[in-house]
Amino acid sequence: MKLVAKRLDVVEPSPTLAITAKANQLKASGLDVVGFGAGEPDFDTPSHIKEAAKKAMDAGKTKYTPVSGTPSLKEAIIQKFQKENGLKYEKNQIIVGTGGKQVIYNFFLATLNPGDEVIIPAPYWVSYADIVRLAEGTPVIIETNIKNGFKITPQELKSAITKKTKVFIFNSPSNPTGAAYTRKDVEALVSILENEDIITVSDDIYEKIIYDNLEFVNPAMISEKMKEKTFIVNGVSKAYSMTGWRIGYGAGHPEIVKNMDTMQGQSTSNASSISQAAAEAALTGDQKPVADMLKAFDERRKLIVGLLREIPGIECRMPEGAFYAFPYLTDIYKLPGFQKLAQEKQETSKSKLFCDVLLEKYNVACVPGIAFGDDQAIRLSYALGEADIKKGVARIKQMVEDLSK
Ligand SMILES: *Cc1c(COP(=O)(O)O)cnc(C)c1O
């Protein structure tokens, strides 16, 4: 009996989730593991949001809602776009889904035809390429690296565009690099995109996690013409520490939203009614918890980057946003101890080899850069306390010292 559909041939299990699972397994066996793997904030969901969920349950909001979200949550989302981004949307341009991930998934299933090309700057969030392939599209990767600040140029974008290009994915601040595009950077990309028949998907999930008062700018905010061609994805997971509640939303052309609604209506239907009430409270309520989380992340950011930079051979950019450090290990890979390991283990990915040994021998979990399309790097999430950050980076330093021998 054949148990697996061919469609799965093009999909990899999420490596971030795999690392977290392995780290948890080691922890459960009694080991003291430091986990830099997780892609979620470690803070609890603010209490006023939890209260709103309890109230919704008690008020009987426990039934199906419209597939694309409750009218009142959509209204809160419209207000958010108007107030924070200067963008005006109607209700038929908004869709609420089970996490930003499902919104992205439904977007691609609703828009792509076989062979349509989707431009994805690397390093990229692990799910983009897999979702595009599942939807029978072809990912077209534009490489960036630490030297150019992990940002693509308008020229690079232009040369990646072909007759088959359907979508360009823009993610700023970025997971995994933490790099954020400035208004000037975004304007330069828009000068190309405005004149092309391409939809830009702007993944704004890290909008609120941006440091040093850097202005958050997405392509739709640059011009009305660009707004027409942009589909925005956002959600409450990262900003309000609500990953488990599973609420994301999208905004864009009514025709796209209508087809996503059809897709969603034949798969999951509405996102959880209780979570929708909680998300509404998150968007409309007190924003101080967001500021408090940002402050804590900022301190950890400076701590972890400072400590990583003290390790000889490691090169690390100060990220402008999100909660990830993405250090380059290019010089570490040249160390005699590492070369010996590479020969012994027969592992072709250097970042995977480094992370495997780091987890097994030093009990520190990081995600190999190869998962994001960049084998020179590893990703460390700093969504954990300062004591753990210090302990974890000290162990990485120890591993590097051992490899130098
Ligand atoms: C976390 C994340 C998302 C979506 O997360 P959800 O929990 O599904 O809302 C989307 N894009 C990026 C880049 C992310 O890191």
pLDDT value for 346: 86
> pLDDT tens, 359-403?
999 999 999 999 999 999 999 999 999 999 999 999 999 999 999
CB of 248 within 6 A of ligand 1: the answer is yes
Residue located via tokens 């072809």: 138
pLDDT value for 335: 96
**Which atom of ligand 1 approaches the CA of 233 most closely?**
10
Sign of torsion over alpha carbons 370, 374, 377, 379: negative
Sign of torsion over alpha carbons 291, 296, 299, 305: negative
List the alpha helices (DSSP H) in 285-385. Answer: 288-309, 336-345, 350-362
Reported residue count of the chain is: 405
Q: Rounded CA gap, 235 and 241, in Å?
A: 10
pLDDT value for 183: 98
State phi, psi for 252 to the nearest 5 degrees.
175, -155
CA angle 82, 88, 94 (to 5 degrees): 100
Q: Please answer whether residues 301 and 319 qualify as being in contact, where contact means their C-beta atoms are separated by less than 8 angstroms.
A: yes
> pLDDT tens, 281-340?
999 999 999 999 999 999 999 999 999 999 999 999 999 999 999 999 999 999 999 999
Confidence band, pLDDT 50/70/90 cuts, at residue 106: very high
Q: Rounded CA gap, 65 and 77, in Å?
A: 16
pLDDT value for 12: 79
Averaged over 65-93, what is the pLDDT?
A: 98
CA 403 – ligand 1 centroid, Å: 35
**Minimal CA–CA distance to 351: which of 391, 325, 392, 379?**
379
Q: Which two tokens stand for residue 398?
A: 């120890």
pLDDT value for 17: 77
CB of 205 within 6 A of ligand 1: the answer is yes
pLDDT value for 109: 97
> pLDDT tens, 233-245?
999 999 999 999 9
DSSP states of 255-299 as a string?
Answer: HHHHHHHHHHHTTT-SPPHHHHHHHHHHHHS--HHHHHHHHHHHH
**Which atom of ligand 1 approaches the CA of 235 most closely?**
9
Q: Which of 45, 201, 237 to mutate for ligand 1's pocket (most ligand atoms within 8 Å of CB)?
A: 237
**Which atom of ligand 1 approaches the CA of 246 most closely?**
7
Question: Closest Cα to atom 4, ligand 1: which residue?
Answer: 100
User: Average per-residue pLDDT in the chain?
Assistant: 96
Percentage of the chain beyond pLDDT 90 is 92
CB of 174 within 6 A of ligand 1: the answer is no
pLDDT value for 2: 84
Which amino acid type is present at position 21? Answer: A
For residue 19, pLDDT beyond 90:
no
pLDDT value for 304: 98
CB of 137 within 6 A of ligand 1: the answer is no
Which H or E run includes 395?
A: helix 386-404
CB of 99 within 6 A of ligand 1: the answer is yes
Q: What share of the chain is helix, strand, coil (3-state, %, to 5)?
A: 50, 15, 40
Q: Rounded CA gap, 258 and 265, in Å?
A: 10
**Minimal CA–CA distance to 253: which of 198, 196, 173?**
198
